[in-house]
Each structure stands twice: as C-alpha cells, then as structure tokens.
C-alpha cells in the first residue's frame, strides 16, 4: 500500500533533516517545509537518491499565521504524519533585556507551532486519520532562571499538545509529544553539554519514528531525563529559588 507523505515543519534544522532521513528510510515520501525552502534542494536530492522516495519542498514561515491554512491547501497531498521541529532557543539575557526578542522566542516555540498543528489537526480530524508530532522540551517542565523564556513557551506547547491529544483521541488522530533533552545541534554547539544527557539528531529521529509506529503519547528521547525532571519538579520552591539551574 502506498504510504502518505510525512511533512517536516522546520526541515532546515538538524533534527528536522534527521527526521526526514529516518522516515524516508522507512519508505515514506517526504515534504520538507521551511523558510527559504529552495535552499534545501541539496537535501532533497540526497534523500531521493539515497532512499528512492519522492521529496518536495515547501515555503513555510511558522510566524506567518495568516498563511498557515493556505500553506496546507497548497501541499500536493495532505500528509499522513506531520512533525513540527520548529523552534528558537534564543539567548536568555537578550530576552530579558529586550521584550521584542523574548516575543520572537515565545512565538517561535509556541504560537507558530500551535497554529500550524491546529490547522493540520482539523484537516486530519475531517479525514479521520493521521499522526501529529510536536517537538517540545524538558525545559517546559519547570521555569528556571537560565532559560525561562524558552521554557515557558515550551511549557505552553506541551500543554497544547496534551489538550490536542485528548481532543482527538476518538477521532483517529494521534498526537505525540517529544521531549528530547539536550541535543547536539547547531543551536547548542556553543554549550558545554553532558554526554550522558545529550542525544544526537539521528537518535531523536529514530525515537520519533518508533513513537509514531507504536502510538506513544509522550517520549523522553533519553529515559534518564524523566528521572532528572522528576527531581527538578519536586525541589521545594524555597530551595529551588536559591538555585541556578
């Protein structure tokens, strides 16, 4: 049976490209969506040559909310799986100093991703099938001084995905929340990350493919993060506010 394509939103990112490779290797056609999508021509050619799957490029701006419905209308085929890898970490100090910088981080990690997935959710619900995958973050599980702008946006996105999953549970549409923890990407290359807590983009991609196949609800790419965040969530506030995590 012919497989419906997988739509990768934020396909220019290291995780987005890794997800594209992982699904193409499983025999799925791929739709790569990003800003300046023509710049992904080399990635398109590589995927097609390597896996023999059809790959299409689509211009997509997560912050152009008014264009989201039209973006879906213009896809050559409604995907069977959509993976949202859109995100912007930003610099906490810059976000604190300039509210407009903070707004971009908030919109990039919550408003934009929630909007496009909301549109896709309605289309999938009408069809009665599909899988929506949102890449959120463990940073959303408790606000911390070092990244609370980014973390608060991800907290909102995690809650959105949870509500969407609850809403669509009886409609044939499944929603997966991905909590990767640290990932070795261009976005984190300036950070000194602990090896045991840091996944590779390909590791995240493989976890997403498995999660869609097994209809998992929430996944920590490295299970140790579930324990780490359980500890952080349960630190008493009087103690927590004295820490610099």
pLDDT tens figures, 18-37 = 999 999 999 999 999 999 99
Give the single-character DSSP code of 111.
I
Question: Could you tell me whether strands 182-183 and 81-84 are parallel, antiparallel, or unpaired per DSSP bridges?
Answer: unpaired
Quote the number of domains for the chain: 1
Res 191 pLDDT > 80:
no
Look at residue 245 and tell me if it is in a domain: no
Q: State the average pLDDT over residues 39-60.
A: 98
Do 224 and 194 touch, CB atoms closer than 8 A?
no
Choose, from 28, 51, 150, 220, the residue flagged as catalytic. 150
pLDDT tier for residue 169 given thresholds of 50, 70 and 90: very high
Q: State the average pLDDT over residues 196-208.
A: 95
State the pLDDT at residue 188.
Answer: 72
Q: Which domain holds residue 46?
A: 6-240
Q: Give the CATH number, domain containing residue 150.
A: 3.40.50.720
Largest CA distance in the chain: 58
Distance CA 128, CA 30 (A): 21
The tokens for 46 are 């590589």
Look at residue 133 and tell me if it is in a domain: yes
Distance CA 105, CA 87 (A): 8
pLDDT tier for residue 244 given thresholds of 50, 70 and 90: confident
Do 95 and 141 touch, CB atoms closer than 8 A?
no
Distance CA 82, CA 75 (A): 12
pLDDT tier for residue 135 given thresholds of 50, 70 and 90: very high
Look at residue 67 and tell me if it is in a domain: yes
Query: By three-state DSSP, how is residue 59 classified?
Result: strand
Do 194 and 182 touch, CB atoms closer than 8 A?
yes
Active site residue 150: yes
Res 168 pLDDT > 90:
yes
The model's pTM: 0.95
Look at residue 1 and tell me if it is in a domain: no
Burial of 62 (0-12, 13-18, 19+ CB in 10 A): buried
Do 160 and 202 touch, CB atoms closer than 8 A?
no
172 φψ region: left (φ > 0), alpha (ψ -120 to 50), beta (else): left
State the pLDDT at residue 71.
Answer: 98
């Amino acid at each position: 049976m012919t497989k419906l394509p997988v739509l990768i939103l934020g396909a220019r990112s290291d995780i987005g490209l890794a997800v594209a490779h992982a699904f193409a290797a499983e025999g799925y056609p791929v739709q790569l969506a990003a800003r300046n999508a023509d710049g992904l021509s080399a990635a398109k050619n590589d995927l097609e040559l390597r896996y023999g799957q059809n790959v299409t490029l689509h211009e997509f701006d997560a912050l152009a909310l008014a264009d989201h419905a039209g973006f879906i209308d213009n896809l050559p085929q409604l995907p069977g799986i959509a993976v949202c890898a859109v995100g912007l970490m930003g610099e906490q100090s810059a976000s604190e100093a300039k509210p407009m910088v903070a707004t971009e981080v908030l919109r990039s990690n919550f408003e934009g991703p929630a909007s496009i997935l909301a549109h896709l959710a309605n289309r999938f619900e009408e069809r009665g099938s599909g899988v929506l995958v949102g890449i959120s973050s463990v940073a959303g599980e408790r606000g911390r001084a070092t990244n609370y702008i980014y973390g608060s946006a991800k907290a909102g996105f995690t809650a959105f995905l949870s509500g969407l999953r609850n809403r669509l549970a009886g409609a044939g549409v499944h929603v997966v929340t991905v909590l990767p923890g640290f990932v070795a990407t261009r976005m984190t290359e300036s950070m000194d990350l602990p090896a045991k807590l840091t996944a590779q983009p390909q590791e995240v991609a493989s976890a997403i493919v498995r999660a869609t196949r097994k209809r998992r609800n929430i996944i920590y790419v490295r299970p140790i993060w579930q324990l780490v965040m359980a500890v952080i969530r349960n630190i008493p506030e009087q103690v927590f506010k004295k820490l610099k995590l």
